[in-house]
Amino acid sequence: MNTLVRIKGYVSHADVLEPFTTYPEDLVRHELHLFPCSYDIFNELEHRIEELRQEHGWKQSPYSERHYNQVEHPAVKDRVFAGDCIKFESLHFPRLEGALSSFVHDDEFRGIFVQVVGHLQIQELGNCFLSFHIIEPAVHPADGFDK
């Protein structure tokens, strides 16, 4: 299954330049919340998550003995959605393209229309998340519309 994602939208929250940890012993994590330009992406991602789970054996099948003792749903909740936004996270610093590479503070990302490139991933416990590797400025479909 192809796990590559390219999603355009507006940045609503960013912990990209100033990553954080939730617990002192955790690794530093970069995070970005994106308000997508199309709500169709939510259904598409849910469908791809289900496909990924089936591929990794997380969907219980009554005809297969190898799935007999597995749970139907993962023990840990997915980390793909955050309210009305798509949540991206990574342990590695993402590549910033164009004008974004000159940003100094995470607040500068807020409200910017970008394209985020990453992968839909499934962890050992069956929960899914979106990693991100590239953030680049995107051309908005309405740019120049009023000229």
pLDDT at 69: 46
Contacts for 56 with CB less than 8 Å, ≥ 6 apart: 122, 126
Q: Strand 85-90 to strand 81-82: parallel, antiparallel, or no bridges (unpaired)? A: antiparallel
Q: Residue 63 pLDDT more than 50?
A: no
**Dihedral pair phi/psi, residue 49, rounded to 5°:** -65, -45
Higher pLDDT, residue 8 or 61: 8
Q: What is the pLDDT of residues 32-58, one digit of tens each?
A: 999 999 999 999 999 999 999 888 886
- What would the two tokens of residue 28 be? 């530093």
Q: Where are the domains of the chain?
A: 4-137
If 0-12 CB within 10 Å is exposed, 13-18 middle and 19+ buried, where does residue 14 land?
buried
| Other Cβ atoms within 10 Å of 97 Cβ, number | 14
Overall pTM surpassing 0.85 (yes/no):
no
Say if residue 79 is exposed, middle or buried (CB neighbours under 10 Å; 0-12, 13-18, 19+): middle
Q: What is the predicted pLDDT for the residue at 58?
A: 65
Cβ burial, residue 19 (10 Å; 0-12/13-18/19+): middle
Average of per-residue pLDDT across 111-119: 97
